[in-house]
């Protein structure tokens, strides 16, 4: 009878310190994994927001091109054919798009003045939101209607998923690109 009471006493005793430590380690690893997944989710959400804003900005430039179709026609396009923008700097061979606020354009603007105003406004907005962007607008003359390609590249930070992906840092800076095709 004494052995039976001794066995019951051992069963009622509870958890050992070792069992508690193992449970704490398992919970700690689980919480670390949960924190990493939350950080990845936040990083992905921020990058998706940036990408959608880039798409909206590019559609904005395409809308400006559609609204000023008199400038973006085969007769006037060979004057510049291509322009690039980095930060607030616009480069085009003709120099027609460089002036932000063309003189004499207070009430009535020529198509070239309006295009310069639109492009400079767009470049300023892009630089305010994405300081590391580069944009290239290339227009190829066609017999009836011009074809333009707008390409924007920018850098974004991505959180590394694991140690193999993180070479020297938990974040990676990657170059992203987005292009659209426009017929103004």
Compute the mean pLDDT over every residue in the chain, rounded to the nearest whole number: 82
Q: β-pairing, 134-140 with 147-159?
A: antiparallel
pLDDT for position 4: 54
**What pLDDT, in 10s, does the model give residues 82-92?**
899 999 899 88
Dist. CA 79–CA 98, nearest whole Å = 13
DSSP 22: H
Q: Which residue has the higher pLDDT, 145 or 3?
A: 145
What are the two backbone dihedrals, phi and then psi, of residue 72, each rounded to the nearest 5 degrees?
Answer: -90, 50
- Reported as a pLDDT band with limits 50, 70 and 90, residue 150 is very high
Counting the structural domains of the chain, the total is 1
- Asked if pLDDT for residue 15 goes beyond 70, the answer is yes
- Reported as a pLDDT band with limits 50, 70 and 90, residue 78 is low
- Asked if pLDDT for residue 107 goes beyond 60, the answer is yes
Domain range spanning residue 62? Answer: 2-182
Q: Around 52, how many Cα atoms within 13 Å sit in the side-chain half-sphere?
A: 6
Say what the pTM is.
Answer: 0.74
Give the sign of the dihedral formed by CA 112, CA 63, CA 181, CA 91: positive
Dist. CA 150–CA 140, nearest whole Å = 12
């Amino acid at each position: 009878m004494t052995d039976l009471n001794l066995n019951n006493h051992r069963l009622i005793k509870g958890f050992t310190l070792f069992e508690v430590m193992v449970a704490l380690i398992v919970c700690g690893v689980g919480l670390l994994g949960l924190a990493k997944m939350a950080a990845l989710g936040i990083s992905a959400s921020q990058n998706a927001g940036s990408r959608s804003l880039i798409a909206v900005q590019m559609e904005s430039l395409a809308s400006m091109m559609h609204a000023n179709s008199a400038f973006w026609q085969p007769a006037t396009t060979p004057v510049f054919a291509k322009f690039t923008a980095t930060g607030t700097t616009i480069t085009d061979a003709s120099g027609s798009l460089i002036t932000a606020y063309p003189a004499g354009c207070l009430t009535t603007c020529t198509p070239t003045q309006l295009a310069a105003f639109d492009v400079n406004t767009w470049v300023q907005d892009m630089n305010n939101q994405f300081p590391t962007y580069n944009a290239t607008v290339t227009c190829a003359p066609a017999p009836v209607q011009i074809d333009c390609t707008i390409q924007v590249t920018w850098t974004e930070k991505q959180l590394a998923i694991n140690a193999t992906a993180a070479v020297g840092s938990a974040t990676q800076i990657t170059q992203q690109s987005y292009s659209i095709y426009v017929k103004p």
